[in-house]
Amino acid sequence: MSSRTVEELVSGILCGQRRDLAQAITAVEQDELKADALLSALPPAPGAFRLGLTGAPGVGKSTFISKVVPLLIESGEKVAVLAVDPTSPVTGGALLGDRARMSSDMGDAGWFRSLASRGSTSGVAGCTDHAAEILARAGFGIIIIETVGVGQLEVEIATEADQSWLLLSPEGGDAIQLLKGGVLEVVQRVIVHKSDRPGAEELMRWVEEAARDQGAADPVAVSSQTGIGLNEVVDLVLSAAKAQRSKPDEGRSKERLRRRLLRRAEQEWIKKGLEDSGGESQIDRLVDQVFEGQIEAREALAKLTDR
């Protein structure tokens, strides 16, 4: 796992050692197999609240988070942020992981970590669930997951979080199309960000109308620049976190566990299937044969799968 054993990492995490927590998440990010031992040793935390934030690039997710998190910490919460970033084609790490997202030090009650998307097209890194679960068991009561923003909407965040919020801005040309497309069936709330910008009032009217038509929660107009709406957002997050603690959503937690087990099983099936078919050396031989016209691609596939 690292130079430290599972027992040492678990002991350090439970004692609040940030270095051990960082090493544990790094280990899980590199190899999800290592999450099994960690989660088996760490006590469960069913009351932790996960909030997913999605939205197109440029909508201001990182700025929004940098304003909300300090306010949550001031209210007495321990808050962790998992920001999914594009993957570096060179190192395989989070491409934007070294950028300054938080304008001030969050202190011991805050935690920030970039995760590499590693080829995921859903906007959520494959290890997001494991990382969030480790953070919950480390004592963070609120975990914010920021998606990479690869498309109009990353639907998978709805399965990873207890609530999912969509950020829209008046500068986003596809905002109204998203509302017409039934986006409110996937997310629990819409935040109209950059509400101090031209066009924000019109967008807010569209969102309010869509929310009424679909029986969704009222949207919130927020400006990270002026501070409008930030206190309302904090109250909503605290209320949702309180509800999660008093009555954890066992169905959602069970579904996440099912997805976690299925994902791990799929990884093992692929690994075992590759080994049984002759490994990567066999694939290389078949690639050469197909490339040289000796066999067709379907024959190569049959040679791999028939084993």
Q: Tell me whether residue 244 is in a domain.
A: yes
pLDDT at 122 over 50: no
**Residues 193 and 232 grouped into a single domain:** yes
Band the pLDDT of 252: cuts 50, 70, 90.
confident
Q: Tell me whether residue 92 is in a domain.
A: yes
Place of tokens 């130079």: 3
Q: Map residue 177 onto helix, strand or coil.
A: helix
Please name the helix (run of DSSP H) or strand (run of DSSP E) that holds residue 204, with its range, or none: helix 200-214
**HSE, side-chain direction, 13 A CA sphere, residue 62:** 17
The one-letter amino acid at 265: A
* Rounded CA Rg of the chain: 22
Q: Of the given ranges (39-43, 65-69, 88-92), which has the lowest mean pLDDT?
A: 88-92
State the Cα–Cα distance between residues 306 and 68, nearest whole angstrom: 54
pLDDT at 92 over 60: no
Q: Tell me whether residue 253 is in a domain.
A: no
**Residues 62 and 178 grouped into a single domain:** yes
**Residues 193 and 93 grouped into a single domain:** yes
**Residues 97 and 193 grouped into a single domain:** yes
**Residues 224 and 144 grouped into a single domain:** yes
Place of tokens 């199309």: 177
**Residues 53 and 36 grouped into a single domain:** no
Give the mean model confidence (pLDDT) for residues 80-94.
Answer: 62
Distance (Å) of CA 147 to CA 65, 84, 86, 180 = 12, 5, 10, 22
**Residue 232: domain span:** 44-248
The one-letter amino acid at 6: V
